[in-house]
Amino acid sequence: MLAFAAGWPNPTSFQAQVFITTLALAAGGIGAMIPGDMNIEYKGLVRAGGGLALVVLVFFYQPNLTQVAARIVPPAEPAEEAALTFLALVDKGDVEQAWLWWDVDGLGGSEEAHQQWITISEKFRAPLGAVSSRQLSGANRAESPPGYPIGLYSTMVYRTKFEHDQQCRMEQITMRAAPDVSWRVASYNISPTTIPCS
For position 138, what pLDDT does the model report?
95
- Is residue 26 located within the same domain as residue 98? no
For position 147, what pLDDT does the model report?
75
- Is residue 46 located within the same domain as residue 105? no
In a domain, 171, yes or no: yes
Contact 15, 180 (CB under 8 A): no
User: Distance between CA atoms of 58 and 55, rounded to whole angstroms?
Assistant: 5
In a domain, 83, yes or no: yes
- State the 10-residue block means of pLDDT for the chain, 198 residues long: 60 68 69 63 57 65 60 87 96 94 73 88 94 96 82 94 96 91 92 93
User: Which one, of 186, 178, 136, lies nearest residue 159 by Cα?
Assistant: 136
The rounded Cα 119 to chain-centroid distance in angstroms is 22
- Is residue 87 located within the same domain as residue 63? no
Query: How is the chain classified by DSSP, letter by letter?
Result: -HHHHHH-BS--HHHHHHHHHHHHHHHHHHHHHS-S--EEEETTTEEEETHHHHHHHHHHTHHHHHHHH-B----SS-HHHHHHHHHHHHHHT-HHHHHTTB-HHHHTT-HHHHHHHHHHIIIIIGGG-SEEEEEEEEEEEEES-TTS-SSEEEEEEEEEEETT-SSEEEEEEEEEE-TTSSEEEEEEEE-SS-B---
- Is residue 42 located within the same domain as residue 84? no
For position 111, what pLDDT does the model report?
80
Expressed as residue numbers, the domain containing 29 is 2-69
For position 56, what pLDDT does the model report?
66
For position 172, what pLDDT does the model report?
96
Number of structural domains in the chain:
2
In a domain, 195, yes or no: no
In a domain, 196, yes or no: no
Q: How many residues does the chain have?
A: 198
For position 31, what pLDDT does the model report?
65
- Is residue 87 located within the same domain as residue 182? yes
For position 39, what pLDDT does the model report?
61
